[in-house]
Amino acid sequence: MRHNESLSLLEREAPRLEALADRIWGLAELRYAERESAALHADALAAAGFRVTRGVAGIPTAFVAEAGEGGPVIGLLGEYDALSGLNQQSGALSCAPSLEHPGLNGHGCGHHLLGAAAHLAAIGVAAQLKATGRPGRVRFYGCPAEEGGSGKTFMARAGLFDDLAAALTWHPASHTGVFDQSSLANVQARFRFHGRASHAAQSPHLGRSALDAVELMNVGCNYLREHMPPHARVHYAVTDSGGLSPNVVQARAEVLHLVRAVSNAEAAALYARVCDVARGAALMTGCELEILFEKACSNLLLNDVLNRVMHEELLAIGQLPVGAAERDEAQRFATTLSDNDVAAAERSLGQVLRHARPTLFEGVAEYRPNRDEPLYGSTDVGDVSWVTPTAQCWVACFAFGTPMHSWQLVAQGKTGMAHAGLRLAARALAATALRLFDDPALLQRAREELEQRRGGPYVCPIPPEATLPAAA
């Protein structure tokens, strides 16, 4: 980073934000229930002089914190939600429940680090704007429920990103590099079947099994897979099996389905087919069907102008700031990973590293835009990218090949290599933001690219009548 004052401040503030990330790692709060995590971020930013607005878009755990005056507004996106079923002991080399933080949840996608690094970058950018007296505002977005809730999509529907000149964010990973693929759009809904209870032996003919309807719906969706577009995905979780007594015909049952495709239009079309399968299951079993739309998010629109700026800043920063201790950490966790895990990480880079597979990725991957092959995951950053030019990078925080949503990733969430990645991500975000403040022409070119690529106005995939899903 060329701005030495900001760099010094980031280094001074980094231990405090690392401690904040570690504390949020232990809280491991799920979608829309991140009350303590959101409060920790909002309170700390308020204490740093930011103007904080809480409960934005009608979401109790969403907030906006802004510093600076006039000029363009650049947003930094922060997350802090966890995942269900991934409780894990920090530093353990086997799948073991946490003794320090009992519960069912865990930070299996590194969002405790994500929010902390964006927070740290916002402080550095705000300090530089103030020191130079330059017009401009940096805005930190406290974004809940990226996992399973599409918090940013609800925030986009409320217009919270409309006045941004650009948005920047990052994601913890096992390598470092700029996002160079789109993501999949998705739609999620609950399918709740209502049947009729009866004695399963004495009078089964009087019952109408809601659980049968759930099973038939899943069978129907499995047959549907043969006739979906090649990049599409349908996942499910049975959230209510109707009770624990097998001698009762289940009068209620529910399944949660997540539908993914390469675009909003394709995801909506596939979702409509899944709904038809559910209606067929209800008809076959004599049940009533209730469809509860939960959330949706758009595919990510890459912005080549911003991506190249971010890539240049990553290259200028250079190597991941690690030493022997962090390399030893990575080596220990590498023993828990399979060859398939490492091969999948190689494929995500778009290049093969068979002759030099690292245990810790310390450099910067090449930037190779690929609009033909999407990432198969989804992110509500996609909706921000339809509203304003957006750039996002991966930063290595874990042993190379560590899968997302795994116990290994949770176990590495408070290690020295995770902290090193947090620091590098904060520097990259701050350097990119300051470069954009320095060169308004870049912002103009990024906006022109967005408008050309978007081809029309943003239409939120969450309809106006849809309400916020319940906190998990």
Alpha carbon distance 39, 107 (integer Å):
18
Distance CA 216, CA 193 (A): 11
What is the model's pLDDT at position 1? 43
Cα separation, 38 vs 81, in Å, equals 9
DSSP secondary-structure letter at 377? S
Q: Which residue has the tokens 């590099």?
A: 177
* Chain segment 171-203, per-residue pLDDT in tens: 999 999 999 999 999 999 999 999 999 999 999
| DSSP 3-state of 64 | strand
pLDDT of residue 255: 98
The boundaries of every CATH 3.40.630.10 domain in the chain are: 4-183+299-454
SS3 175: coil
Q: In the 8-state DSSP scheme, what is residue 341?
A: H
d(CA 129, CA 67): 9
Distance (Å, whole) CA 164 – CA 384 = 10
**Token pair listed for 357:** 């597979």
229: phi then psi, degrees, rounded to nearest 5 = -55, 150
Structure tokens at 319: 């190597």
Compute the mean pLDDT over every residue in the chain, rounded to the nearest whole number. Answer: 94
Q: Alpha-carbon distance 342 to 332, whole Å? A: 15
Q: Does residue 275 sit in helix, strand or coil?
A: helix
Residue 396, SS3?
A: strand
Tokens found for residue 403: 């899968």
- Supply φ then ψ for residue 239, to 5 degrees: -95, -15
Could you tell me if residue 276 is left (phi over 0), alpha (psi between -120 and 50 degrees) or otherwise beta?
alpha
- pLDDT given for residue 51 in this prediction: 98
Both tokens of residue 126?
């705000």
Question: Which fold is adopted by the domain 185-297?
Answer: Alpha-Beta Plaits (3.30.70)
Segments in the chain below pLDDT 50: 1, 354
d(CA 245, CA 239) in angstroms, rounded, equals 16
This prediction's pTM = 0.94
Residues of the chain with CATH 3.30.70.360: 185-297
Q: State which CATH number among 3.40.50.720, 2.60.40.1120, 1.10.760.10, 3.40.630.10 fits the domain covering 4-183+299-454.
A: 3.40.630.10
**Which tokens in the block code for residue 238?**
């049975």
Q: What is the pLDDT of residues 310-369, one digit of tens each?
A: 999 999 999 999 999 999 999 999 999 999 999 888 877 765 554 567 999 999 999 988
What are the φ and ψ backbone dihedral angles of 106, each rounded to 5 degrees?
A: -160, 160
Q: Percentage of residues in the chain with pLDDT exceeding 90?
A: 90
pLDDT at residue 351, rounded to an integer: 58
- At residue 356, the pLDDT reads 64
Radius of gyration of the chain (CA): 23
Q: How far is residue 273's CA from residue 80's CA, in Å, rounded to a whole number? A: 33
Number of residues that make up the chain:
472
For tokens 């099973």, name the residue: 215
